[in-house]
Amino acid sequence: MKINRQLAILMHVLTHGQSTAQALAVRFEVSARTIRRDMEDLSQAGIPIYATQGAGGGIRLMDGYSLSRVIFDDSEKALLLSTLSNLSRSQDIGADQVLDKLGALFGPSGQEEWLRVDLASWGLAPKDFRFASLRDAIRSRRLVHFSYTRQDGVLDNRTVEPMTLLYRGTSWYLWGWCQLRSDFRFFRLSRMRAIQILEDTFIRRTGTLEEVETSYNSGHLVDLMLRFDATAAQRVWDFFDSDCINMLPNGQFEINITWPMNDWVISTLLSYGPELEVLSPIELRQTLREKAMQIADRYQKE
């Protein structure tokens, strides 16, 4: 809490130029004495903050001081600006404003651009406002209602307590509490239609995304052994971490990996067609065999 408050004081003085100890005390709900101690700590850390007395006096920073000289080096500035730039392309209008302020604060770095993160080409379309609508619902703690296409093609109506927007793999997801399932769920934004932000509000549930995922996966993880033909080499190297890839003398690949057993895993494995054989577990081999027979039966009807 203390370091967070001191950083917030620094940001406030940087933004507003000058402030009194009393005004800062009111803003951060502490005593003026605590503010003066925070000033001493910041000064000892090498930040040129000081107080002037008399009319028009107050707490201020030495002229020419900027946050970037202390906290961010050039590579960190580039990464921060690139991330915010990507959020701007995802319809986050607030990111535009922060991007402008940080760009003005940092100024030109004099370095060549070494990193760019651009999700726009495979993320949301430029005129897709789902991201912004869901972001606003999360911030205002309001329920969202939408039509959702499940993996089996069935269209459901869902009412969800929105918690977090997540970019994973190549897609955006909403993570939240689904009232229909009475559990946390992920919803892929590209499958959501007719999104409505309701007037009803909710109290955010305890637990982080990481905690919920860890709890869920601990009871659903399965060790898989997969064998791929040499013709699948490009997809294997693109999709799997090199640490779990064992290249065989005949050009085939063996993969040992731990995954949660769900429909996504099954559909992913099926997408490799005859280039993949599941060596274990036996239950998964049987599931894929049944799915493959269903596909074959469909084409035999012609």
pLDDT digits (tens, 9 = 90+) for 109-142: 555 555 555 555 455 554 467 888 898 999 999 9
Average pLDDT over residues 178-200: 92
Please, what is the average pLDDT of the chain?
Answer: 79
Task: Supply the pLDDT for residue 101.
Answer: 54
Architecture of domain 130-215: Roll (2.30)
> For residue 280, is pLDDT > 50?
yes
Architecture of domain 220-300: 2-Layer Sandwich (3.30)
Query: Residues of CATH 2.30.30 domain(s) within the chain?
Result: 130-215
Percent of the chain with pLDDT over 70: 73
Residue 130 and residue 195 in contact, taking contact as beta carbons nearer than 8 Å: yes
Average pLDDT over residues 276-294: 94
How many Å apart are CA 81 and CA 72, to the nearest integer?
11
Task: Supply the pLDDT for residue 163.
Answer: 92
Task: Supply the pLDDT for residue 221.
Answer: 77
Residue 117 and residue 165 in contact, taking contact as beta carbons nearer than 8 Å: no
Task: Supply the pLDDT for residue 244.
Answer: 87
Task: Supply the pLDDT for residue 74.
Answer: 63
Average pLDDT over residues 186-212: 88
User: Encoding tokens for residue 191?
Assistant: 């499958």
Residue 93 and residue 139 in contact, taking contact as beta carbons nearer than 8 Å: no
Task: Supply the pLDDT for residue 206.
Answer: 83
Q: Which residues contact 128 (CB under 8 A, 6 or more apart)?
A: 91
Percent of the chain with pLDDT over 90: 30
How many Å apart are CA 148 and CA 179, to the nearest integer?
14
Query: Residues of CATH 1.10.10.10 domain(s) within the chain?
Result: 2-65
> For residue 51, is pLDDT > 90?
no
Query: Residues of CATH 3.30.70 domain(s) within the chain?
Result: 220-300
Write down the CATH number for the domain with range 2-65. Answer: 1.10.10.10
Average pLDDT over residues 30-36: 83
Residue 138 and residue 164 in contact, taking contact as beta carbons nearer than 8 Å: yes
